Amino acid sequence: MHDLVDIALIGGGNMGAALLSGMIESGRVQPSSVAVVEKIEPRRHTLVEMFPGVAVTADVPPCASAVIAVKPDGVAAAVEAAVAAGAARVLSIAAGVTSAAIETAAGPGVAVVRSMPNTPALVGQGVSAIAPGASAGELDLAWAEQILEAVGTVERLQEEQLDAFTGVAGSGPAYVFRFAEVLIAAAIEQGLDAEVAERVVTQLLVGSSALLERDGDPAQLRVNVTSPGGTTAAGLARFDDLDFAAMVADVVRAATVRSRELG
């Protein structure tokens, strides 16, 4: 017989584990107030070692609320099990599963919050969006916000805006990594050693992100580093020639449209 827990985290994969780690390290939850539900036995053993004091189980224990961190095709069953175990509110981080679908699985009287975190949450630097379902109120949103703030920042959106968020921030880390790949390749082509190129580009992105976080206003930061007639101006001119802005807009549009199709 399991004791009642505040939160049942259903799904102990990378994102679920990152979320739990952030919640515990930030003091948002006590290990004794949360349980991780994980079907795969070897993963359960790993989670027991990762999170001392946290109940790790194959079945959903009695719980007041649940965080759904399973693959999209497992969401309905996870929600049904959570509600059967007593959950009155549910936060889903599963991509592409609508609040309406979650509410159908949950039944009446259960507050549903749908969210979309991105992978930098794995290092506590994520950005997540949350959107309320039909029965979710301010207290439910605040609860979801507190959980997700353990791994980064949180934006409140309407559900119809989640596809655009996915196209920018959900898929965005891959755009940054792709840019890093081609920048490294270009640096090697111009004569840098591969290891040097990778170190330089990595630090370039880290440092530029820190400047952007500190100062904001990316357009002004671009102006600050661009001397008329200099090297940066020459590089940026090629971006304009190639219509870089239109290409990025098209990339985000494609991802947003695909998110709508999947949802």
Q: Rounded to two decimals, what is the model's pTM? A: 0.91
Residue 93 CA: distances (Å) to CA of 119, 157, 197, 225: 12, 14, 36, 39
Contact of 43 with 67, CB cutoff 8 Å: no
Fold of the domain spanning 172-262: ProC C-terminal domain-like fold (1.10.3730)
Looking at residue 191, its pLDDT comes to 98
Looking at residue 77, its pLDDT comes to 97
pLDDT classification of 1: cutoffs 50, 70, 90: low
Mean pLDDT computed over every residue of the chain = 96
DSSP H or E stretch at residue 10: strand 5-10
Q: Which CATH number fits domain 5-159: 3.40.109.10, 3.40.640.10, 3.30.930.10, 3.40.50.720?
A: 3.40.50.720
